[in-house]
Chain A
Amino acid sequence: MSVKKKNQIDLLSRFLILAVVCVGFALLRPEAFLSVDNITQVVFQQTPFTILMAFGMSLAIISGGIDISMSSTMVLSSYLSASYFQQGNYFMGLVVAFGVGLGFGLFNGVLISKVKIEPFIATFSVDFMALGLAYVVCNGEYVYGFSDGFRSIVNGYLIPGIPNVALVTFLVFAVLYFLTRRTIYGRTLYSLGHNKKATKLSGMHSDGVILGVYVTNGLLAALTGILYLARLNAADPSIRGTLTNDSIASALIGGIAFCGGTGSVVNTVIGSMIIMFIRNGMNIMGVSTNWQQAVVGFVILFAIVYERVLNNLMAKYAGKGNK
């Protein structure tokens, strides 16, 4: 079986999971779940945030690493930039938000590519640092109340029917898809995920690409933070919530294999949809958010088992085909 075909089957099976989730909830609560309002609400208003964060997680996982510092970076950057946005100083707001994202991204990237610290340990530490700082800066005071102009970057409609937040997400998707599938950067990224040493010894810019991944993640976190400010109309350290868990679960269930080198941002989008529809369905069923967190955990475990089973099945099928 060729790689391409394998990937297609894999992707198709992820669509199937999404379909099963949706059909399941549709059967349980057709009137609430199947309404146009509900579906558009989930797809265009709720999922984009998870998708943006999961993009970053996916890039890190594809490169053979992980980034659990994104949600804290997001919190810190949104909090620090909030007052500028509130005052209408968009320029400074953007500079501060993306500056913080860039800073933490660079820090992660240097720790991982130059100092050679395990990605998980490095980003776990940075996560702790960023969150600690966010609480120091916040000190129990919340910034809230933004102008309608600012809030329209999320709620406005540049294209009728599609909220701006979905538009932004689509643009990011297009850029990342191009970057990862059609450029040297992307080729090196996938090669790194499969085999770091061989990639380095082929003379590819492996350290630079790893640095690039974490910087991209920092910037994505900053972008998500700004969108969150506009959506929630407030800056609050607790918005970090379960975004890290959700984005890992999204990437894995979408088909980004944890060992690295496989999957694309398309998988991430599907994965995020699966997670968000599960959450939405449970909300409709009246299940508490506490249960939802446990379920997301189960999805992570299910995702790795599912991948193993699927690969074994495909290997078996391919073996038979050869004989």
Chain B
Amino acid sequence: MNKSQKGGAAGLLAGLRKLNIPGILIGNIVLFVLFGLANERFLSSYNIMMIFRNTCTLLMAALGFTLVILIGKIDMSVGSVVSMAAVSVVVLYNAGVPVALALLLPLLIGIAVGVINGLLIAKCNFDFWVVTFGMMSVFAGLALVTTDGNTVAIKNDIVNWIGNGKIAGIYVVIWITVILAALMVWIQKKTKFGYDVFALGGSQAVASVSGINVVKTSIIVYALSGLFAALAGVLIACMTNSGSPAVGVDYTFNAMAAIVIGGTPFIGGKGGIGGTILGALLMKILASGLSLVGIPATWQKAITGFVIVALIIIDVVNDHRKNIKAQRRVYNNVG
């Protein structure tokens, strides 16, 4: 009772803490308000729609990647798979493959990359970092080979509709992303597979003695990471009506940033896709805001990079501090 009388910022902060709102949501709101005050065009319905639209491909690539980080691992090949899928759509279609197949086959490539990653890592016990880095190199190269380094255009109504069409006034890509993100949240929260992912991230040894099939779960996780990366690539091809072998270059880092900012630490075991959605949104709000405020394009990338690096460092330090706190308080019982 005394606390509320203190009033002011401290009281507000204490109140907020009680509500247990994740910091990332507050971050989103604060950025939103700040940019809104700085430039009114930022708050226009057009701009807000564009922010959501821009978030789609990043979020898509991060959906499966989140599961990988949840089990305490990394998938460096995400960016290359994005590029590979984007060029595959275009090259397949231009080679005369029916459009439906041209859109679906790249997804199989993504799954295949994931399964190979998973097999090498979970089954053969190779270090996840080197394996996915090697796959990254291989597919970055193959994406270049596919189009001989060029950006190739695609002309098809269905492809264009998926990328730029609207249903009920909202872009199709947004619909697709929202539906898939919701599905993944549900899978993570409600299914046995989701539970197993958290168990694996908490401790592989515990998961194993509790009868969870560690190898199978890890392979599925990497396969999903590959699948969603490929989906992101397909969406990019549809949105830009073209395929470029360098389009995915920054996706690994940006998706990783969205995930970590969203509250899934690199050690895994906690956090989840809900946070990743907000993390991806935050990055795109930042990008949109910076360009509306009039920061030149080259600086935008550097600034975004700095912000992300700072957030990652804060996250790691914070997690470290929390662990120490947990260690210190073990002898205190709770009721």
Contact = CB atoms under 8 A, between A and B. Distances in A.
Asked whether any CB of A lies within 8 Å of a CB of B in the complex, the reply is yes
Interface residues of B, number: 39
Interface string A158-197: 0000000000000000000000000000000000000000
A121 B266 contact: yes
Given A128-B305, A129-B309, A139-B298, A304 B141 contact: no
A120 B129 contact: yes
A90 B124 CA distance: 52
A125 B307 CA distance: 11
A294 B308 contact: no
B195 interface: no
Contact of B126 (A128, A245, A308): A308
Contact of B266 (A118, A139, A291, A295): A118
Contacts of B148: 288, 290
Given A115-B317, A304-B131, A293 B137 contact: yes
Nearest to B140: A293
A258 B127 contact: yes
Contacts of A12: none
A88 to B, nearest CB: 29
B302 interface: yes
Contacts of A301: 120, 131, 134-135, 138
Nearest to B142: A294
A45 B320 CA distance: 46
Contacts of B140: 293-294, 297
Nearest to A131: B305
Contacts, number: 112
Interface in B145-183: 145, 148-149
B193 interface: no
B186 interface: no
A135 B301 contact: yes
B223 interface: no
B298 A294 contact: no
Interface string B298-325: 1101101110110011001100100000
Interface string A226-242: 00000000000000001
Given A117-B316, A136-B298, A259-B127, A125 B141 contact: no
Going nearest first, the 3 A-B pairs with the smallest beta carbon separation are: A294-B141, A297-B137, A297-B138
18 contacts: A115-B317, A117-B316, A121-B266, A121-B312, A124-B256, A128-B309, A132-B301, A132-B302, A136-B302, A245-B137, A248-B133, A290-B141, A290-B144, A294-B142, A297-B134, A297-B137, A304-B127, A304-B131
